[in-house]
Structure 1
């Protein structure tokens, strides 16, 4: 998250041969196959006997594995009714070059005309790995530096010993065929992406290549994205080997990126030796020797691969990949590699047995990817047309992702009719509980929308989030004390004076709070996750954050409506959450009450629930009395008030009691200075300043419109950005540029120019989605996560969280804007 290594998403493009299931010969039938598959995930290649799949980018390798497995299942399922088999390997032993055709596309037809036999013989498939490095200049530098390390990856992938029915003697004959193109091999050294782009332009201008897409170097920087692409590897029959390549390549990229940033020189290996090392890897695979790039001497391939993996351990551990990658590396070495397995199959039954092996290995991926498998009978129709492009729970072919397999089983047992009955029961229980909220301007309260499909936060995610949340809230607490104290951060230039002085949340009443008091006893931090699994903080809520009560109510609701589903979880008990909250608000000996504005408050249900569960009085301001003896609420002595009203509603005598030390408010008045949208942009700096630590949770890139240069960027890119009022809450006043009309954008532009200091803009986050029940169907909806940090003697994350769900077609999750919620399982 805050570590640069942890935000580098990895994706894969896999190429597959289409073969006749009976004759095992390559068939140019990819076009008929592609008609049945979605274009955004499947595409054509030069030869009509090749289909390419495109995975989503992911942070976690296991998520990538599930996506790759689902794509393979999808293409196999579409191919078999046509009499076609799908093979993932560098080459297929049985092929008739003269009978095969290029894809009917002007670009490919031009390539055939220009390159003749070279194009006709490109009956090869590769596995290409993409890593997001965040900067094109860095991508170009890494592409050169990483070249000597790539032969190890080629050796692992080598799967093309046979060509036109004969054993070539090579583990990867595809490498020799591929290397005949004019723009293959190691990439030279360039000072910048601009210099690299000029070289590519020169190649196109020379006429040797027809377009920028014909850059086929061993590692290729993207032409328009800050990503780097590995291109040396053969297609791999086993999906786990592709995952291994992705993990190793990303770790290599991280090491070279850090070395480049630190100014350390690359390995001093000449291009000629790098080419020779690649040839040796293509010749030997894992069966003989590879060349060590450090000393240039041959080393047994298994030993060299083990050294390579061990050397990458620090980067792999930081990514959380070490255990999986080391396990996969052991497995590929134990099996000797695909080329060895193919030769053993040939000895048993000739080329037909080789193709049988490749078909079986390509197909056999369902059991390996945990949780993956076809959607069950009654769930499948509910997922028809489901968009999985950013989904947390469902992969491409409608399979359950990771831990959602148990939930899909439960949904299957109930079916659409059973779930409709449970929804009716949910509404009945909500009415019994009074689980409603009030929207200003409406006469009747609404049932708080709760979807019955729980959200699961994986243990590895939740563990990292907890540490980052505590860090963030500790820094914000230090800032609040500083803002109402000596303002050392301003004095030391960590943030400008206006960030405090001009904040709408700065209040004179904030200075009434004793210096040693905890100002933010309860913080609500809004987190978003993108489709790759990357988490970021969207907003900090330090005044009167709501949601803990609704998160608890969601759990109790699930226990009454879908107890069989809840029994499958290992999420913490809600009782623990109440203990954490109670401990943060006051010591056991302190008299505590919760102050609310009453039934007109949109969150009154939550106020009442929390007061009941903690066994404390629930009072309105007019029920509080203050005299020289202290504070009494509804006739009872009170030392701490859990404030669930706006500070403007606090009676003056209560604030005087705070000043005299008779009463503590949780949260303290004036906390708004720490959670407005402008200050949000400075929180990473505040973490470094107050704690001396690097931020563990990312911010969304934010632009301060009061700054002239940043304002011009915002105005130029308004249709791409999210515009927010600095002091806004509940989604009010937010404009999402990609979803806005021309009239809305024009109006927003005028508002921004009228009061630049009142607005910030943020990059649009592609929110992850989660299935919700809607009219008997499962449909994807954008979600976020509100997590809670309580501070008493120490900061602790409350072991419940609230997933908020946006309405259809929206990215705004607030209930006041039509959003709902889900029970959230925090895995341990």
Structure 2
């Protein structure tokens, strides 16, 4: 257990930039370019009304929360100099009366041309967790081990109920919108490294992806770092919720490696059931029911508790157990991001209150 609990972490977050009324503003490149010496990385995104941040490599939860908070603070301060707000929301809550362009970047422009309305509608913000791995075979073991838990991780961070001025009826409308990309969705259960590579090559040959950076599975191997990247979640409403996701992912990854969940054989959860489970997680979040491995509907928190119990030995080993318990207790009391957005709206039936609930303070 000790070797695998030394796994390092990195967290990427995507945000929207909005004016005081909550409408999108294409200031992302200007904001990121003006952030000097960030405590991590800040980058352009597909749409110029977005910004992206990435923490430095971290070993403990304190480093994760500190890094995430510092990056959010830096971006929010720079946005505020333009009278803008940084919005950690999975999709834009308000409707826009104009077409939103792509960031002036050759790759992004090509994506827009190749994928048409799929790319034009892909205005979503996610949270990606990177966990270190010794090699790619280990990464596939982690992918196979985490795969059944994707719906629960999605429900924990669901933070996008409102879109284009209306309640979507889903806790994570981002997940539904993101699923339009031909390479999006849960990964297969991988039999081997050759199996992984053959599927990526097939996506390239068919034009479903333009490059390996467009492998949009909910779990994928990083092409540039020795990590496995878990991409299923909405951008979290708070730093603590993003850090909770990170430590739970690390705990499950360590369990998968210790269990020896190596790629072997055509086993694992059927993809059809996993897709249904993910849809249910996107619809209900923490407020309703999720699907267990037998295909039965159970209270969402029952599966959250089961996930935590599975990861508990590794959470304890890394010193993350108390932090995870505190954040989970808060989520039980106050609700997840989607629930809190809906509660803010219910008070006066104004989306302005939702925006105030979401906007990162300066």
The reply to whether TM is greater than 0.5 is: yes
- Could you tell me how far apart the structure 1 residues matched to 2:358 and 2:261 are? 42
Partner of 1:311: 310
CA gap 1:255/1:305 in 2 versus in 1, 3 angstroms: same
For the Cα contact (< 8 Å) 2:140–2:190, is it kept in 1?
Answer: yes
DSSP-derived class of the 1:159 partner: coil
Following superposition, the deviation at residue 65 of structure 1 comes to 0.5
Partner of 1:238: 238
Partner of 1:72: 72
DSSP-derived class of the 1:154 partner: helix
Matched, 1:107 2:71: no
DSSP-derived class of the 2:81 partner: helix
Partner of 1:157: 157
Partner of 1:19: 18
Alignment of 1:163-182 (within 5 A): 163-182=163-182
Partner of 2:322: 323
Work out which structure has the larger RCO, using CA pairs closer than 8 Å and 6 or more positions apart in sequence.
2
For the Cα contact (< 8 Å) 2:93–2:162, is it kept in 1?
Answer: yes
Partner of 2:205: 205
Partner of 1:518: none
DSSP-derived class of the 2:29 partner: helix
CA offsets per residue over residues 132-163 of structure 1, 9 Å max, x none? 02111110232133211111110010010011
Partner of 2:6: 7
Following superposition, the deviation at residue 355 of structure 1 comes to 0.7
Structure 1 stretch displaced more, 61-70 or 198-207: 198-207
Partner of 1:335: 334
Following superposition, the deviation at residue 190 of structure 1 comes to 2.9
- Could you tell me how far apart the structure 2 residues matched to 1:104 and 1:97 are? 21
Partner of 1:355: 355
Higher helix fraction (1 or 2): 2
Partner of 1:692: none
Partner of 1:32: 30
Partner of 1:691: none
CA offsets per residue over residues 632-660 of structure 1, 9 Å max, x none? xxxxxxxxxxxxxxxxxxxxxxxxxxxxx
Partner of 1:55: 55
- Could you tell me how far apart the structure 2 residues matched to 1:34 and 1:217 are? 27
Following superposition, the deviation at residue 9 of structure 1 comes to 0.2
Alignment of 1:685-764 (within 5 A): none
Following superposition, the deviation at residue 265 of structure 1 comes to 8.5
For the Cα contact (< 8 Å) 2:137–2:263, is it kept in 1?
Answer: no
DSSP-derived class of the 1:146 partner: helix
Following superposition, the deviation at residue 262 of structure 1 comes to 7.7
For the Cα contact (< 8 Å) 2:15–2:52, is it kept in 1?
Answer: yes
Following superposition, the deviation at residue 263 of structure 1 comes to 8.8
For the Cα contact (< 8 Å) 1:27–1:100, is it kept in 2?
Answer: no
- Could you tell me how far apart the structure 2 residues matched to 1:204 and 1:132 are? 26
Matched length: 359
CA offsets per residue over residues 732-789 of structure 1, 9 Å max, x none? xxxxxxxxxxxxxxxxxxxxxxxxxxxxxxxxxxxxxxxxxxxxxxxxxxxxxxxxxx
- Could you tell me how far apart the structure 1 residues matched to 2:177 and 2:261 are? 36
Structure 1 residues without counterparts, runs of 5 or longer: 365-828
- Could you tell me how far apart the structure 1 residues matched to 2:262 and 2:108 are? 43
Structure 1 stretch displaced more, 92-101 or 281-290: 92-101
- Could you tell me how far apart the structure 1 residues matched to 2:219 and 2:154 are? 12
Partner of 1:144: 144
DSSP-derived class of the 1:363 partner: coil
- Could you tell me how far apart the structure 2 residues matched to 1:61 and 1:266 are? 35
CA offsets per residue over residues 305-353 of structure 1, 9 Å max, x none? 1222123211111121111111111111211111111111112231111
- Could you tell me how far apart the structure 2 residues matched to 1:50 and 1:85 are? 11
- Could you tell me how far apart the structure 1 residues matched to 2:306 and 2:252 are? 13
Following superposition, the deviation at residue 304 of structure 1 comes to 2.2
For the Cα contact (< 8 Å) 1:69–1:239, is it kept in 2?
Answer: yes
CA gap 1:109/1:70 in 2 versus in 1, 3 angstroms: same
- Could you tell me how far apart the structure 1 residues matched to 2:295 and 2:125 are? 30
- Could you tell me how far apart the structure 2 residues matched to 1:127 and 1:186 are? 16
CA offsets per residue over residues 565-615 of structure 1, 9 Å max, x none? xxxxxxxxxxxxxxxxxxxxxxxxxxxxxxxxxxxxxxxxxxxxxxxxxxx
Structure 2 residues without counterparts, runs of 5 or longer: none
For the Cα contact (< 8 Å) 1:251–1:312, is it kept in 2?
Answer: yes
For the Cα contact (< 8 Å) 1:34–1:43, is it kept in 2?
Answer: yes
DSSP-derived class of the 1:299 partner: strand
Partner of 1:273: 273
CA gap 1:335/1:320 in 2 versus in 1, 3 angstroms: same
Following superposition, the deviation at residue 193 of structure 1 comes to 2.7
Structure 1 stretch displaced more, 166-175 or 337-346: 337-346
- Could you tell me how far apart the structure 2 residues matched to 1:65 and 1:357 are? 20
For the Cα contact (< 8 Å) 1:236–1:242, is it kept in 2?
Answer: yes
Following superposition, the deviation at residue 222 of structure 1 comes to 1.1
- Could you tell me how far apart the structure 2 residues matched to 1:199 and 1:107 are? 22
CA gap 1:333/1:103 in 2 versus in 1, 3 angstroms: same
Alignment of 1:623-702 (within 5 A): none
DSSP-derived class of the 2:128 partner: strand
For the Cα contact (< 8 Å) 1:6–1:59, is it kept in 2?
Answer: no
